[in-house]
Amino acid sequence: MAEIPSLQSLRGRVQALAGVPVSVAAPPEHLLPLTQVLMRQGWWFIGLAPDQEEPGAPTRLRYLWQHDEAPWLCLDVTADGDVPSITGDVYAADWPEREAEDLFGVRFSGHPVLGNFVLHDEVWAENLEPMREPVRPLTPEPRMDVERPSIVTAPGRFAFPIGPVFSGVEESVELTIETVGEEVVYPHVRLFYKYRGIERMLTGRTGADAVLLAERVNGPSAFAHATALSQALESLCLREVPARAYALRLLFAELERVRSHIRSLSHTVESTGLSLPANWLIAAEESLLQLSGEVAGHRYLFGLNTVGGLTLDVPDEALASMVKRVGRVLDQVDALYERLTFDNSFLDRLEEVGSIAPGRARLVGMVGPVARASAVDRDVRRHQPYGAYRRTVPRPVTAEEGDGYARFRVFHEEARAAFSLMEEAVAHLPAGPVRVAMEPRGGTAVGAVEAPGGTLAYYVRTGGDGTIRRCHIMPPNFANWHAVTDALRGSAFQDVPIILATFGFAVADADR
């Protein structure tokens, strides 16, 4: 059986560019014992990147694991036949395995629910495996008779389908709630209505073009996506980005975080029916959008990041005034937050709804602020510091209860913490260029950042010319949507929109 390198030895190997994973090859029959060893050693499962290196070759499964201040560990299993499902030990691998099954045709023995996941049965035929070379003809075969899952037997049980077209200005996702009325007995989530095939589109692109596509995986956290992909590619080039670029990346990433968290707060407040504070928060978000537009030329920071740095330098004074303006917006949000936390009708809707216990949060694989609200203290910025975060460390923000109110508090608290980071960074702005030319090189790397929603990782394999051969995105919302079943189960109907809002979800992020 393959040896897992000891943590001591790995910690010694942490470098400035930690993106290149330590690979441990293992035959499928050793997968389960190795997984158990990793779990015992306290590694975190982040994602499963299936990769096919040559057309016609078997799919290589790359199980990506993370540990504090250690480089990425990649458990490399060749799927030549059935692969045992690790979901018995790592429930977080549930959806990644389903995804690999749909896109690569990997058969996981022991996974009870496979198929009809990324590729909906309404549209696509079975066994299409669109990510494998050679590609089969990808023509849709529409069907109308796809049944919804049904696992509840109870007198008077009925299914309550919601979506994909919701009533407000909402992203497309489907929920089927099994119920006997008033109470959610069991919810089924269906993602991938917005599957755009981005990973397939990334194949064959150059770094700069790929970043433009990565930005549009999820518009509201475009900068995080661009940073993650750029970092992965930069770590392959073995060259550091200028210090000023790192500092600016931090500033814009934290600006995006503040905006995104205010947006999450506004969704939560809106779902409880308090339209006035919700609208104030929407206005606060708008002022940050305008700020982004003025400083970076794009309201959502599109086109700003690229491999090797930023496409645009911003004068120090402009950055300083930007941080000041963020502070003013946050002051308004703080005043509102104070009032909201004293509003009983608001708190009643949030407290003890959608609770996820800490152990459960880790089990289902939650990441980011919503996980931190369930006392899972994981933050890429602190535990695998990258870029300017190696010097400017954010303060930890967590809560214990794991309910809607805990998530609300963490979102607010983190927006505050992000602002402190911005103040710290803007005080010590390095001078110099914001971009260096990068020599393209081949190799495999992982780029991870703390996106507003949580851990966002890009697995990238490039060819010798620097073009992308395979890119796998592990977005935070994909991990967190997996927790929705837990959060909704047993709750009252009228709490469902509130619970969903407290997660601050982005569907586009999960669907890719």
Q: Taking contact as CB under 8 A, which single stretch among the options 12-20, 43-51, 285-293, 402-410 is the one that binds another protein?
A: 285-293
Rama region for 248: left / alpha / beta (φ>0; ψ in -120 to 50; rest): alpha
Q: What residues between 14 and 53 interact with another protein by CB under 8 A?
A: none
Identity of the residue, 48 or 397, whose beta carbon is nearer to another protein in the bound complex: 48
DSSP 8-state assignment for residue 183: B
Could you say which of 107, 196, 391, 441 contacts another protein (CB under 8 A)?
A: 196
Identity of the residue, 37 or 201, whose beta carbon is nearer to another protein in the bound complex: 201
463 binds another protein (CB under 8 A): no
Give Cα 105 distance to the centre of its chain.
Answer: 24
Identity of the residue, 35 or 392, whose beta carbon is nearer to another protein in the bound complex: 35
318 binds another protein (CB under 8 A): no
Q: How far is the CB of 20 from another protein (least distance, A)?
A: 28
Q: How far is the CB of 401 from another protein (least distance, A)?
A: 23
164 binds another protein (CB under 8 A): yes
186 binds another protein (CB under 8 A): yes
170 binds another protein (CB under 8 A): yes
Q: What residues between 468 and 507 interact with another protein by CB under 8 A?
A: 506-507
Q: How far is the CB of 299 from another protein (least distance, A)?
A: 6
Task: State how far the Cα of 276 lies from the Cα of 286, in Å rounded to an integer.
Answer: 15
Report the Cα–Cα distance between both ends of the chain, in Å, rounded. Answer: 36
Q: What residues between 207 and 266 interact with another protein by CB under 8 A?
A: 208-209, 212-213, 216-220, 222, 263
Q: How far is the CB of 478 from another protein (least distance, A)?
A: 14
Task: State how far the Cα of 152 lies from the Cα of 173, in Å rounded to an integer.
Answer: 22
Contact 459, 342 (CB under 8 A): no
7 binds another protein (CB under 8 A): no
Q: Is-cis flag, bond preceding 164, omega within 30?
A: yes
Binding mask 81-100 for another protein (x = CB under 8 A): ----x-xxx-x--x------
Could you say which of 277, 402, 454, 497 contacts another protein (CB under 8 A)?
A: 277
Task: State how far the Cα of 470 lies from the Cα of 386, in Å rounded to an integer.
Answer: 23
Q: What residues between 337 and 376 interact with another protein by CB under 8 A?
A: 363
Task: State how far the Cα of 37 lies from the Cα of 17, in Å rounded to an integer.
Answer: 26
Q: What residues between 102 and 141 interact with another protein by CB under 8 A?
A: 110-113, 120, 122-124, 130, 138, 140
Burial of 155 (0-12, 13-18, 19+ CB in 10 A): exposed
Closest-CA residue to 320 (of 422, 434, 431, 435): 422
Closest-CA residue to 224 (of 315, 276, 302, 151): 302
303 binds another protein (CB under 8 A): yes
Instruction: Describe the crossing of helices 316-340 and 404-427 by its angle, rounded to 10 degrees.
Output: 160
